[in-house]
Amino acid sequence: MIRLIVAGAGSRGSSYARYVENHPGDAALVGVAEPREYYRERVAATHGIAKENVFSDWRRMAERPRFADAAVVTTQDAMHREPAVSFMEKGYHILLEKPMAPTAEDCRAIVETAKKTGVIFAVCHVLRYTSYTQKVKDLVDGGAVGQVVSMQHLEPVGYWHQAHSFVRGNWRNEGESSPMLLAKSCHDLDWISYILGDRRCERLSSFGSLSHFRRDRKPFEAGDATRCLECPFEPRCPYSARRIYVERAANGYTGWPVHILTPDLTVEGVTKAVREGPYGRCVYECDNDVVDHQVVNMEFQGGVTATFTMTAFTPMGGRRTQIFGSRGSVYGDSTVVEGFDFLTEGKTRVDTSAADQSAAGGHGGGDERTMAAFIRAVATEDPGKIHSGPDISLETHLMVFAAERARRENRVVEMSEMR
């Protein structure tokens, strides 16, 4: 029985804590730290955590003598380094939500501490763990496409997800969180590297900007309105907070993203949160500065190339990938994997939805499988059960920082600069 503590009981912390609810024989949650009372007490009550192990500040929890085997760190992005380092120095094994940290310096400090202390350390690269990903990787590693030559990968963020998380929400402003590519898509650059056998990237270029969610793009019909419930244009706005939150609540849906706004999930409670809180602001009148679209061009060892596109302007849906090889190709949409063989002109098709949906949690079962791998690694003291160790996680984070440098400085960045 692995004993866990959680620092940060918001959406991500609660998601990983659900693994313990679903697998009570594998782990027990024995401590929680969260500044917001409702979310703190909800987790404490669900898991029967002793009162003396419930904290409003993770620092108080870290001051205690070590009372668990591992810590799950799911604080906000800019608050990762200090708790991760502190708990590792106390001897806790660490599962750290991605991104590791908003700066390369902080990422290096975290990895150096992990290696110095010798604890088992895993970053929540949850996309590595889905059955869909494992099928794609099995095909590539098994030679189904021959020698990989190039790859295209798309992250369709989704129009209302962008408005929720990256215009109105916690990841809207780089100064408070991190660049969009790091917050949303370090998943993806890591995934590309993983599918290519964790081969090293040599150089990158990148382009992108905040093109739409700005004051000068505001429809003139909206006038001076700064909140959705006061706006005459709101019924015609695809980013309407009434549509994204209140109408969902009215239809009986109170999951993500509705439950992010308020603990009061009645229609009246959600309406009040939209009227008074940050999620009811006009998307053209927020303090957001992260990009809403970006492309990254990469060259890996051996001349393999990859392109990545992240864009807000899509329906909600799974990532899509095309892998081009010397004897075949593979296409995937996060559920179905299709292969084509140049020699036989034969086609294969595998639907991984049943396997992925059988796993509880988000990201196509990736959240649950990440937790399962971490728990097994801690229980057996075998870090090999984790798909990405400290050095690999640092490398793929450095790719993101390199891409951001390339975008800002309008040049090709050599990865040797980052290493």
- pLDDT tens readout for residues 64-109: 999 999 999 999 989 999 999 999 999 999 999 999 999 999 999 9
For the chain, report the end-to-end CA distance as a whole number of angstroms.
39
Rounded Cα gap, residues 220 and 223, in angstroms: 6
Rounded Cα gap, residues 186 and 89, in angstroms: 26
User: Is 172 a domain residue?
Assistant: yes
User: Is 171 a domain residue?
Assistant: yes
Rounded Cα gap, residues 382 and 262, in angstroms: 40
Among residues 393, 415, 362, 405, the alpha carbon closest in space to that of 190 is found at 393
pLDDT in the model for residue 353:
87
Note whether 24 and 92 are same-domain residues. Answer: yes
Q: Quick check: 357 pLDDT over 70?
A: no
pLDDT in the model for residue 360:
47
Residue 346 DSSP label = -
Q: Lowest mean pLDDT: which of 117-131, 258-272, 309-323, 360-374?
A: 360-374
Q: Tokens 């010798």 correspond to what residue?
A: 118
Average pLDDT over the chain, rounded to whole? 95
Note whether 148 and 67 are same-domain residues. Answer: no
The total domain count for the chain is: 3
Contact 133, 194 (CB under 8 A): yes
Note whether 23 and 99 are same-domain residues. Answer: yes
Note whether 299 and 163 are same-domain residues. Answer: yes
User: Is 410 a domain residue?
Assistant: yes
- pLDDT tens readout for residues 148-171: 999 999 999 999 999 999 999 999
247 to each of 49, 162, 211, 243, how far by Cα in Å?
35, 18, 28, 5
Among residues 368, 280, 380, 274, the alpha carbon closest in space to that of 2 is found at 380
Percent of the chain with pLDDT over 70: 98
User: Is 384 a domain residue?
Assistant: no
Note whether 185 and 207 are same-domain residues. Answer: yes
Contact 159, 293 (CB under 8 A): no
- E strands, 58-124, where? 70-73, 93-96, 121-123
The residue from 62, 92, 119 where one domain ends is: 119
Among residues 292, 263, 260, the alpha carbon closest in space to that of 278 is found at 260
The tokens describing 46, both together, are 């669900």
- pLDDT tens readout for residues 44-65: 999 999 999 999 999 999 999 9
Q: Mean per-residue pLDDT for 218-240?
A: 97
Note whether 78 and 13 are same-domain residues. Answer: yes
User: Is 341 a domain residue?
Assistant: yes
The residue from 233, 257, 280 where one domain ends is: 280
Rounded Cα gap, residues 337 and 136, in angstroms: 7
Q: Is 323 helix (H, G, I), strand (E, B) or coil?
A: strand
Note whether 193 and 300 are same-domain residues. Answer: yes
Read off φ and ψ for residue 172, nearest 5 degrees: -80, -25
User: Is 228 a domain residue?
Assistant: yes
Residue 115, phi-psi category: left (phi > 0), alpha (psi -120 to 50), beta (remainder):
alpha
Q: Identify the band that residue 14 occupies on the pLDDT scale cut at 50, 70 and 90.
A: confident
Q: Is 299 helix (H, G, I), strand (E, B) or coil?
A: strand
Note whether 251 and 233 are same-domain residues. Answer: yes
Note whether 9 and 111 are same-domain residues. Answer: yes
User: Is 221 a domain residue?
Assistant: yes
**Rounded (5°) CA angle 197-201-202:** 145
Q: Quick check: 359 pLDDT over 80?
A: no
CATH number of the domain that residue 296 is part of? 3.30.360.10
Note whether 205 and 219 are same-domain residues. Answer: no
CATH number of the domain that residue 28 is part of? 3.40.50.720
Q: Mean per-residue pLDDT for 238-255?
A: 97
Note whether 190 and 223 are same-domain residues. Answer: no
The residue from 233, 250, 280 where one domain ends is: 280
Note whether 77 and 155 are same-domain residues. Answer: no
Residue 30 belongs to domain spanning? 2-119
User: Is 255 a domain residue?
Assistant: yes
pLDDT in the model for residue 356:
57
The tokens describing 372, both together, are 């399962």
Read off φ and ψ for residue 320, nearest 5 degrees: -130, 140
